[in-house]
Amino acid sequence: MTDDEFMVLLDRHGADLALWPDPDRRAAAAMLKHAAEARRQLRLAEQVAALIAAPPPDTTRLQRSILAALPVPAVAAVPRGLVASAGATLMASLAAGLMLGWLGLVNDPLSAPPDDLDQTIAIAFFVDESYGS
């Protein structure tokens, strides 16, 4: 690796050799042992990186403030899985009801013959009188 090639890689990958791709890092490490100008340029690049890198802002107080401001989401009250299974159960029961009705396996109480209806009303009155006594 020549000085110029090293400089190109230094500008592309930055001063931290640990972040360079493996083959480039190995070649650079070998040439740095006997290339004074490359070492000087690497030191300059390291200085630049150290001088301009900002420490991460302290966000401890802000994190607490955000957590305190969180609204309770509607989804948190009822887990999504439960909503999905309840919906599936409702759809299945509706489908079963429609199928039974279509096959005629269930009598429609509103279309019951008049005799049955009279009997039902009589029982209802009887029950009502029993409670009244």
Partner 1 sequence: MTATSEGEDDAILMARVADGDRAAFALLMQRHLGRAVALARRVTGNAAAAEDIAQEAFLRVWRKAADWQPTAKVSTWLWRIVMNLSIDQTRRIKPDPLDSVPEPVDPALDPEAESARRALRRALDAAIAGLPERQAMAVRLCLVDGFSQAEAAETLALTAGALESLLVRARRSLRLTLAHHAEEGRAS
Positions touching partner 1 (CB under 8 A) are 7-8, 10-12, 14, 41, 44-45, 47-49, 51-57, 59, 62-63, 65-67, 69-73, 75-77, 79-80
Asked whether the beta carbons of 44 and 11 are under 8 A apart, the reply is no
Shortest spacing between CB 62 and partner 1, in angstroms = 6
Asked whether the beta carbons of 68 and 36 are under 8 A apart, the reply is no
Q: Which is nearer to partner 1, 7 or 31 (CB)?
A: 7
- Report which DSSP code applies to 14: -
Alpha-carbon distance values, 92 to 13, 81, 86 (Å)? 60, 17, 10
Q: Which is nearer to partner 1, 80 or 125 (CB)?
A: 80
User: Which of 105, 78, 10 minimizes the C-alpha distance to 49?
Assistant: 10
Sign (positive or negative) of CA dihedral 124, 127, 131, 133:
positive
Asked whether the beta carbons of 12 and 34 are under 8 A apart, the reply is no
Q: Which is nearer to partner 1, 54 or 110 (CB)?
A: 54
Q: Which is nearer to partner 1, 76 or 92 (CB)?
A: 76
Shortest spacing between CB 39 and partner 1, in angstroms = 13
Shortest spacing between CB 1 and partner 1, in angstroms = 17
Shortest spacing between CB 16 and partner 1, in angstroms = 11
